[in-house]
């Protein structure tokens, strides 16, 4: 099996003389259907363009394509910052060096959190069940008992409606589905990552929960409720990432020994980490712009404004877009124009493009002020260092005149030195 390598937002050209590929080899691939990568077939080669993902793509019997993060260690460093309930993280010893591949960092973390959950006793709920039984229990459904059983000569059978205390909930089915997929990926790694043992010990607690290939994520979130403990919400978020990012499980034992496709939306993790850090630092409410009803145009076709970060500061709205792009601080006009359109829609007084540091020379810079008085910045952060990212965002908020929360004020006001260029 040939192994190839590319990066998030990268392009990989594969010549047919080196590897005989044709469209039929990937037409049913989960990663193709999910839009993780797009092949462009030419006369002499195929060019595979990847999106905002990191992971491993399998072309059965042909090759494995590893997609590396733009900044090595992004997922491992920012995953605990991106989702509630999984805040514990360790600062990397060397900037740009990851202890685990991005997919292994995600699956290991899920195994650890799942084990923490089952160690405290899994949640059981009273759920409605229908039993066809000879021993009466709960409420007897007379209409069904007479129409279904008595009418067919089975006078001893009753149709009963009961509320059963069970661990077989929609939430647990999602957790099990993610755990089985994670086990599938980690189980063939050599050497097996540490989270695999925790994952398998956790699965033993869900003996009464069946495995579902396509669990209902929306229903699982609704079942958990809006007031759920943040650790359970974080566990559900990771389970959703895994279920959506691991290709369908193999059916044959032969296929089980082959690598599997797994992908993670690194840009989404980067965006959420930036937004959550700003929310912790700022004293004002912070939200995502998507779905808040602000439109770019009025009295015409609907076109929503959707910046990644909206800060409702008393002194005026401040917005930001997080861009996990290969050009780093060298932002393009299209990205700036998009930010300016968002700024106009929100009547913002300050706006920024937050980018990862791709070179040692990348630094924050002020771009200028538009005709309405809104100032524009490029904010460069170290995507593989949680502490540096937090300090860099804090400095930008201070420069933008945003009131800080108690947590933000208590941070040490030290300047952040540029980190070495990512490998």
pLDDT for residue 212: 87
**Could you tell me the sign of the dihedral formed by the alpha carbons of 416, 420, 421, 423, in that order?**
negative
Distance from C-alpha of 399 to C-alpha of 28, rounded to nearest angstrom: 50
Instruction: Report the mean per-residue pLDDT for the chain.
Output: 86
Region 46-62: mean pLDDT is 92
pLDDT for residue 90: 53
Residue with structure tokens 């990568």?
37
Helix (H) or strand (E) holding 375: strand 375-381
Decide which of 190 and 54 is more confident: 54
pLDDT for residue 51: 93
- For the entire predicted model, the pTM comes to 0.81
Residue 46 lies in a domain: yes
86-95, 98-107, 117-126, 333-342: least confident range: 86-95
Based on the domain organization, do 189 and 241 belong to the same domain? yes
Strand order in the sheet with 139-140: 125-133, 158-166, 139-140
pLDDT for residue 412: 56
Question: Is the pLDDT reported for residue 161 higher than 60?
Answer: yes
Question: Is the pLDDT reported for residue 317 higher than 60?
Answer: yes
Q: What's the chain's Rg over C-alpha atoms?
A: 25
Residue with structure tokens 């924050």?
364
pLDDT for residue 284: 94
Based on the domain organization, do 186 and 308 belong to the same domain? no
Based on the domain organization, do 312 and 360 belong to the same domain? yes
Residue 75 lies in a domain: no
pLDDT for residue 251: 44
The residue among 260, 279, 303 that closes a domain is: 260
pLDDT for residue 254: 40
Task: Count the domains in the chain.
Answer: 4
pLDDT for residue 252: 42
Based on the domain organization, do 118 and 131 belong to the same domain? no
- pLDDT > 70: percent of the chain: 89
For the chain, report the end-to-end CA distance as a whole number of angstroms: 26
Q: Are 271 and 237 in contact (CB under 8 A)?
A: no
Full domain range(s) for residue 324:
267-410
Based on the domain organization, do 114 and 234 belong to the same domain? yes
Distance from C-alpha of 27 to C-alpha of 141, rounded to nearest angstrom: 50
The model's pLDDT over 215-242, given as tens digits with 9 standing for 90+, comes to 999 999 998 888 888 888 889 999 999 9
Q: Are 181 and 245 in contact (CB under 8 A)?
A: no
Based on the domain organization, do 395 and 272 belong to the same domain? yes
Neighbours of 26 (CB within 10 A): 20
Q: Are 159 and 130 in contact (CB under 8 A)?
A: yes
Region 351-371: mean pLDDT is 94
Question: Is the pLDDT reported for residue 166 higher than 60?
Answer: yes
- pLDDT > 90: percent of the chain: 51
The model's pLDDT over 389-418, given as tens digits with 9 standing for 90+, comes to 999 999 999 999 999 988 777 775 444 444
Question: Is the pLDDT reported for residue 21 higher than 70?
Answer: yes
pLDDT for residue 298: 83
Using alpha carbons only, give the angle 46, 49, 51 rounded to the nearest 5 degrees.
160
Based on the domain organization, do 173 and 162 belong to the same domain? no
Based on the domain organization, do 181 and 316 belong to the same domain? no
Based on the domain organization, do 283 and 375 belong to the same domain? yes
pLDDT for residue 139: 86
Residue 417 lies in a domain: no
- Confidence band for 257, pLDDT divided at 50, 70 and 90: low
Based on the domain organization, do 182 and 249 belong to the same domain? yes
Phi-psi region of 328 (alpha: psi -120 to 50; beta: other; left: phi over 0): left
Q: What's 324's domain CATH number?
A: 3.40.1350
pLDDT for residue 92: 52
- Strand 125-133 with 158-166, pairing: antiparallel
Question: Is the pLDDT reported for residue 13 higher than 60?
Answer: yes
Helix (H) or strand (E) holding 265: strand 262-265
pLDDT for residue 355: 96
pLDDT for residue 196: 85
The model's pLDDT over 173-206, given as tens digits with 9 standing for 90+, comes to 999 999 998 888 887 666 667 778 889 999 988 9
Residues whose CB falls within 8 Å of the CB of residue 247, separated by 6 or more in sequence, listed in order: 29, 30, 31, 58, 260, 261, 262
pLDDT for residue 423: 45
Based on the domain organization, do 204 and 254 belong to the same domain? yes
Tell me 123's DSSP state.
-
């Amino acid at each position: 099996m040939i192994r190839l390598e590319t990066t998030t937002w990268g392009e990989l050209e594969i010549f047919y003389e080196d590897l005989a590929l044709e469209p039929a080899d990937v037409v049913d691939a989960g990663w193709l259907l999910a839009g993780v990568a797009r092949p462009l077939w030419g006369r002499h080669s195929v060019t595979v363009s990847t999106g905002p993902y990191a992971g491993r793509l399998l072309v059965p019997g042909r090759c494995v394509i590893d997609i590396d993060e733009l900044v090595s260690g992004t997922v491992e460093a920012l995953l605990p910052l991106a989702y509630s309930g999984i805040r514990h993280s360790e600062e990397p010893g060397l900037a740009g060096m990851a202890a685990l591949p991005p997919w292994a960092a995600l699956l290991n973390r899920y195994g650890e959190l799942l084990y923490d959950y089952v160690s405290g006793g899994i949640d059981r709920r009273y759920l409605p069940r229908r039993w066809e039984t000879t021993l009466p229990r709960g409420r007897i459904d007379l209409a069904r008992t007479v129409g279904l059983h008595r009418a067919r000569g089975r006078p001893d059978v009753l149709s009963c409606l009961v509320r059963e205390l069970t661990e077989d909930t929609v939430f647990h089915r999602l957790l099990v589905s993610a755990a089985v997929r994670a086990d599938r990926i980690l189980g063939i790694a050599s050497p097996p990552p540490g989270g695999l043992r925790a994952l398998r010990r956790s699965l033993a607690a869900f003996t009464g929960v069946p495995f579902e290939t396509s669990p209902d994520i929306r229903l699982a979130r609704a079942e958990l409720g809006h007031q759920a403990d943040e650790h359970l919400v974080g566990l559900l978020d990771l389970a959703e990432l895994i279920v959506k990012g691991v290709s369908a499980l193999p059916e044959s034992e032969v296929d089980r020994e082959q690598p599997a496709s797994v992908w993670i939306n690194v840009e989404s993790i980067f965006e959420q980490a930036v937004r959550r850090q700003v929310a912790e630092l700022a004293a004002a409410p912070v939200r995502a712009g998507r779905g808040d009803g602000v439109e770019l145009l009025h009295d015409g076709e609907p076109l929503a404004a959707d910046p990644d970060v909206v800060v409702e500061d008393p002194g005026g709205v401040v917005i930001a877009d997080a861009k996990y792009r290969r050009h780093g601080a060298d932002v393009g006009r299209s990205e700036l124009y998009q930010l300016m359109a968002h700024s106009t829609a929100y009547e913002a007084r300050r706006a920024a493009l937050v980018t990862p540091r791709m070179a040692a020379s990348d630094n924050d810079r002020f771009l200028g002020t538009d005709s309405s008085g809104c100032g524009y910045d490029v904010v460069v952060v170290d995507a593989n260092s949680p502490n540096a990212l937090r300090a860099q965002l804090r400095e930008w908020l201070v420069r933008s005149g945003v009131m800080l929360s108690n947590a933000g004020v208590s941070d040490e006001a030290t300047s952040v030195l540029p980190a070495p260029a990512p490998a």
